[in-house]
Structure 1
């Protein structure tokens, strides 16, 4: 089996790319819009424990240190998208992250993952706006980070895939990230965690039409990243600790949930477990 290929978000996670927090990242926290400065030693300890959860679940963890000085670089989901054929370098809408896609190339090459495409201006796409619903369906959110030209670029990069786009809410404007994955995380072929209050109506219709059951995130756990969980496999999830009602609702739906501490790596930078990973291989 090749060491790459990821066209679902709920298959067994076998290989995953992460980027370690670096000391030089912390000084740029304000420029990148973090809520507070990360404490370097604590962030590195949290990240190490997070990686241990991934390894315990059976995944090979590929660790990178690309783009030093950029605190957002730990959120490896955003600059690239991996499909069955390899990696496509995206182009983040956030200008401070524009170096990240090319910076990952050496890591992909070392991991044996071919780079098969690139998104170029005027198109912009961030990975957080992309959701593999299944191997033939890619959902894309259009907002302040991903534009309509980006949707067309993804259609060209993934021929044969049905690319379905949705307009995202304005929420708090361009200065605060709102990705498609801010309110949906697939957990299995027929199960997804969703915050429906701001989900596009057409998305809710699509989930119903595809027979996908929805676990609703409560209002009080939306802004603490309750909807952002990483599927380690069908009905197995890694979630940020503290969203206890969301965890209970997943468990009642038959999901095995493991939690991690993310005060430094998740809460301060608004990036949950999905954001911290770029799946390279799911089966």
Structure 2
């Protein structure tokens, strides 16, 4: 089996790319819009514990140290999208992150993952606005980080894949990120975690049409990244600690949930467990 191929978000996670926090990252937290300065030593401890949970779940964890000085670089989900044939380098809407796609190439090459395409300006798209509903359906969120013409680009880059787009809410404007994955995390072929109050109506229709059951995230846990959950496999999830009601609701739906501490690596930079990982291979 090739060491790549990730056109789903709920298959068993076998290989994953992460980028560890680096000492240089803490100096640029204001420029990248973090809520507070990260304590890099604590962030590194949190990240190591996070990676240990991935390994315990059966994943090979590939650690990169690309682009020192960019605290957002720990969120490896955003600069690339991996499908059945390899990786596509994206084009972040956040200008400070536009070097990240090329910066990940050496780590992808070491992992044996070919780069099979690139998104070029003026098109912008971030990984957080991409959701593999299944291996033939790719959902795209259109908002301040991902432009409408990304849809045509993805139809060219992923031939044979149904690409479905949704307009995202304005929420708090361009300065505060709102990704499609701020609203939905697939947990199985027929189960997804969703914050329905902001979810596009057409997305809710699509889930119902596909027979996908929805676990609702409560209002009080939306802004603490309750909807941002990483599937380790079908009905197995890794979640940020503290969203207790969301966890209970997932467990009632038959999901095995483990949590991690992310005060530095998640809460200060607004990036949950999906953001911290770029799945390379799912089975």
Same fold (TM over 0.5): yes
SS in 1 for 2:149: helix
Distance 2:7 2:22 in 1: 30
SS in 1 for 2:231: strand
Distance 2:126 2:116 in 1: 17
Q: Provide Cα deviations, 1:43-91, integer angstroms capped at 9, x if missing partner.
A: 0000000000000000000000011100000000000000000000000
Q: Which runs of 5+ in 1 are unaligned?
A: none
Q: RMSD value over aligned CA atoms?
A: 0.3
The residue that corresponds to 2:156 in the other structure is 156
The residue that corresponds to 1:209 in the other structure is 209
The residue that corresponds to 1:5 in the other structure is 5
Q: CA deviation at 1:270?
A: 0.1
Distance 2:227 2:121 in 1: 30
Q: Provide Cα deviations, 1:5-56, integer angstroms capped at 9, x if missing partner.
A: 0000000000000000000001000000000000010000000000000000
1:168 corresponds to 2:144: no
Name the count of aligned residue pairs.
283
The residue that corresponds to 1:193 in the other structure is 193
The residue that corresponds to 1:236 in the other structure is 236
1:1-283 maps to which residues of 2 (within 5 A)?
1-283=1-283
Distance 2:196 2:237 in 1: 20
TM-score (norm 2): 1.00
TM-score (norm 1): 1.00
Distance 2:24 2:200 in 1: 39
SS in 2 for 1:187: strand
Q: Provide Cα deviations, 1:85-134, integer angstroms capped at 9, x if missing partner.
A: 00000000000000000001111111100000000011000000000000
SS in 1 for 2:225: coil
SS in 2 for 1:197: coil
Q: Which runs of 5+ in 2 are unaligned?
A: none
SS in 2 for 1:198: coil
